[in-house]
Amino acid sequence: MVPARSLPALEAMCAEISREAGRVRLVVIPDKTKYMRFSASPSRRSVKGATISRVTYEGVAEFINSGSLISNDNSLEKETKRRILAGN
């Protein structure tokens, strides 16, 4: 997960990640890389993709990271329900 406060900041971070990955012969795979906007305002949580350096990344409203559900509304409710159901 790469957090950034703005799209230009995200673009700069992605460029740095690509450079550093290249130094050790790794590649960022766009098909496996997702984009999510977090916001307290529902109107600012669009799930449209983001284009960075001519590569478009899929936009998502939620994903699982290290076994935990992350959602763009910063709510733990879905993750709590998911864990309760997994315990049954």
How far are the Cα atoms of 28, 46, 72, 88 from residue 84, in angstroms, in the given order? 34, 28, 21, 7
Has residue 23 been placed in a domain? yes
Q: Decide if 1 is inside a domain.
A: no
Does 42 reside within a domain?
yes
Check residues 74 and 59 and name the one with the higher pLDDT. Answer: 59
Q: Domain of 55? A: 7-87
Look at residue 73 and tell me if it is in a domain.
Answer: yes
Domain count, the chain: 1
pLDDT in tens, 5-26: 888 988 899 889 989 999 999 9
Give the pTM: 0.69
Does some domain include residue 32?
yes
On whether residue 39 sits in a domain, the answer given is: yes
Cα–chain center distance at 7: 12
